[in-house]
Amino acid sequence: MQMDRKNELLVRVYIVFFVFVLLAIVILSKVVTISLFEGEKWREKGGRNVKWVELNGERGNIYDERGNLLATSLPYFDIYVDVMTVSEELWNSDIDALCASLSAMFGNASSEWHAKLVKAREDKDRYLAIAKDLGKEDMKKLQSFPIFKEGRYRGGFLYEIKTSREKPYKQLASRTIGLDRSNATKIGLEKSFNGVLSGDVQKRLMQRYPGDQWLPIYDPSDVDQKRGSDVVTTLDMNYQDIVHHELLHAVSKYNAEAGTAILMEVETGAIKAISNLGKYKDAYVEKYNYAIGRLSEPGSTFKLISALAVLESGKVNLDTKLDIAGGRKKFYDRTMYDSERHGLQVVDLREAFEISSNVGLANAAYEVYGKSRESWLKFYEDLKSIGVMDETGIEIPGEPKPFFKNPAHEKVTASERWSGTTVPWMAHGYELQMTPLQILTIYNAVANNGRMMKPYIVKEIVGADARPKTIKPKILKSSIASATTIAQAKELLEGVAKRGTARNFDIKNTSFAGKTGTTRINYWLKTGDKQYNASFAGYFPADNPKYSLMVVIYNPKGAYYGSQVAGPVFSEIVERVSGMEQRVEVLPVEPKIEVVKAHSGYKGDYKALLEFIGMDYKNHSTSKWVDMDSREASVVMKAKKISTKKVPDVRGMGLRDAVYVLESLGMNVETQGMGMVYKQSILPGTTIRNQGIKIYLK
């Protein structure tokens, strides 16, 4: 009996056990089949719902000083259509309307579009390009067209998004702002600040959710990538606009090869505007950064630097007489000419500088530095200590080092070898090469009383989540020459503006100082056209310089003097820029008009009025006529004494009250004006004798 029950129990346990084992085998075998035999298929299916995506954080913007956008990333759309998706019915009813809309938007004839679309349908083209590089606005418009408005699945409307860099100001400073492109090297600020501007790039595993949305698998809430930082420049687009268009006017007028203009703030070295226009086909565009990248012989604008050197030596001053031999002199085997015929024999250094005499400056430098190898070395060292031999270190890539010959180097090529004629030729800006910006940096230093500021163009980096990083002006050299020398140099530059080659510049509202430059660029050729670069460097206002400005026009045709070609650009810019700075005029204020402060009148009226408007007041009066006093925190009523013997003070009363009071005293009232009484013909307190009184109201 007991045994039976035990056996029965055992059998039941075995049955349950067997069932479980069977289940386990089934599951296991299914696992094996899925992973081994069908694995490929399922994994491929699963893969479609998960993918690696490279997420780019948005690139930062570039701004000008006033917060105007200089460069930003905008989405662009390429539009395609899958004509096969469109149903026969929709196609037949709306195709004409669609073609008409397309024709209105893109200009081609409606029939042309019709033919194109019909052909695509015949060819079973599922990806017919409609338009490329459309902006957001146009894209929206396109999305509202017949057929297209049905969307992707019914209307066959397809698009691809691209991001591209947009410069709202187009050509203005565009070479300096730069280019961000994937198929070629970046340039300008886009290059040098690429690390700051770029957003984070991250690879993320994304999963497909119903409705064709992709979300990161591990942390779906964190899809925002870190955006790049914004770069704020020192450029001022108001000034940039002026500089650009004045330069454009000049290069076009003289059919020049190119031109550049740089406007710099004297105190800080901040670049306010920078234009570079090169000829491209028949137009002038920002195609190369001449200001920063092009080395050339500066010519006469360098005379400021040779003057600094000779003055600093102490052997020459502004009144030192120089023999300029009618503007033609032989140094060793080479003859030097002044660019303008003047016939002068002996002038002082001041005049030589003002008329831009090559021979004059060459002579001065030759006397101080030209006669021995030791003095050549001294010349080299003195120029070096002025700071002309180093790069300025501007943030834009591509700045070359200035080219100077070194008398200590003997085993060099002919073009780098120092010779007897080097000192006189360097003195007027040949046998050496600098960029326009490097020259301007020296002029800026002179304007800034000898302190040489590093030119800079980026003043702030604003990150998404960090504190803005401000970039401060940097001093390159606290003093490029002694205070006396700087003062003399300024006097020379002012002299050029007053009496010299720039005396004809017509600039209203401000004063300026500067130096012209007319540089032969192909002097080694014995024949053919003479070619020149025309330039002008200077600063304004002369007495308290705020901005320095350099203009260079490369190879102008028809005219070539610096004063004639670059000068007008300089003076127009100076005039317009200084015109933007407000003049302050102080006006004397007229003496304050005395107004009657006290109101007087019938107490009952005032009470009713004050209660009506709900204003607090204090009543200190027991008589029925009051003076209102509002000088305290609340309005106070003070008793007004009206005597029957004396003329009362009716000033501050209205017409009705004044007339009532006076007439009840038996006086004859004459009135003039309207409003409140401000004057009465008989002074208050006078004894009343049957007389008339006149009151004046306003």
Partner 1 sequence: MGFILLLTLLGLLYIANAHRGERKLRKINKLRKEVNDAKANYQEVKSETTYNTTESQLIKKLEPQGLKMNTETPILIKPEREK
Q: Contact positions toward partner 1, by CB under 8 A? A: 68-69, 72, 74-75, 135-137, 166, 168-170, 172, 209, 211, 213, 215, 220-221, 223-224, 237-238, 241-242, 244-245, 508-509, 575, 578-589
C-alpha 337/C-alpha 527 separation (Å) is: 17
Q: How far is the CB of 239 from partner 1 (least distance, A)?
A: 10
Residue 624 CB, nearest distance to partner 1 (Å)?
40
Q: Work out how close the CB of 74 gets to partner 1 at its nearest, in angstroms, rounded to a whole number.
A: 6
> Cα torsion for 214, 218, 221, 224, to the nearest 10°?
-70
Task: Please state whether beta strands 346-348 and 321-323 pair in parallel, antiparallel, or not at all (unpaired).
Answer: antiparallel
- Residue 587 CB, shortest distance to partner 1, in Å, is 6
Considering beta carbons, is residue 587 or 613 the nearer one to partner 1?
Answer: 587
Q: In terms of CB distance, is 54 or 137 closer to partner 1?
A: 137
To partner 1, the closest distance from the beta carbon of 356 in angstroms equals: 30
Q: Which is nearer to partner 1, 68 or 564 (CB)?
A: 68
Q: Which is nearer to partner 1, 4 or 137 (CB)?
A: 137
Could you tell me the CA-to-CA distances from 406 to 301, 382, 428, 612 in Å, in that order? 21, 12, 17, 95
Nearer to partner 1, 174 or 441 (CB): 174
Helix 110-122 / helix 88-106 crossing angle, nearest 10 deg = 140
User: How near is the Cβ of 589 to partner 1 at its closest, in Å?
Assistant: 5
**What is the per-residue DSSP string for 30-56?**
HHHIIIIISHHHHHHHHHTTEEEEEEE
The nearer residue to partner 1, 215 or 464, going by C-beta atoms, is: 215
Q: What is the spatial distance between Cα 260 and Cα 247, in angstroms, rounded to a whole number?
A: 7
Token representation of residue 572: 């127009």
Q: What is the 3-state secondary structure (H, E, C) of 101-129?
A: HHHHHHCCCHHHHHHHHHHHHHCCCCCEE
Question: Helix or strand or coil: residue 27?
Answer: helix
Q: Between 306 and 578, name the residue whose CB sits nearer to partner 1.
A: 578
- Measured from the CB atom, the residue of 195 and 588 that comes closer to partner 1 is 588
User: What crossing angle do the helices spanning 373-386 and 303-313 adopt, rounded to 10°?
Assistant: 110
Query: Could you give the CA distance from residue 307 to residue 298 in angstroms, rounded to a whole number?
Result: 15
Say which residue the tokens 């009250």 belong to.
657
For the CB of residue 680, give the shortest distance to partner 1 in the complex, in Å: 31
For residue 51, the minimal CB distance to partner 1 (Å) is 16
Instruction: Give the chain's radius of gyration (CA, Å).
Output: 44
Between the CA of residue 351 and those of 360, 367, 375, 487, 607, what are the distances in Å? 9, 17, 25, 16, 86
Residue 442: closest CA among 402, 473, 406, 398: 402
C-beta of 544 vs 644, nearer to partner 1: 544
Q: How far apart are the first and last CA of the chain?
A: 134
Four-residue CA torsion sign, 92, 93, 98, 101: positive
**Token pair of 292, please?**
């920063």
Cβ proximity of 327 and 357 under 8 Å? yes
Shortest spacing between CB 461 and partner 1, in angstroms: 20
Least Cβ distance, residue 172 to partner 1 (angstroms): 7
Nearer to partner 1, 508 or 526 (CB): 508
Reduce the DSSP state of residue 478 to 3 states and report it: coil
With a CB cutoff of 8 Å and minimum separation 6, the contacts of 6 are none
Complex with partner 1: residue 161 or 633, whichever CB lies closer: 161
CA-to-CA distance for 24 and 18, rounded, in angstroms?
10
Smallest gap, in angstroms, from Cβ of residue 588 to partner 1?
5
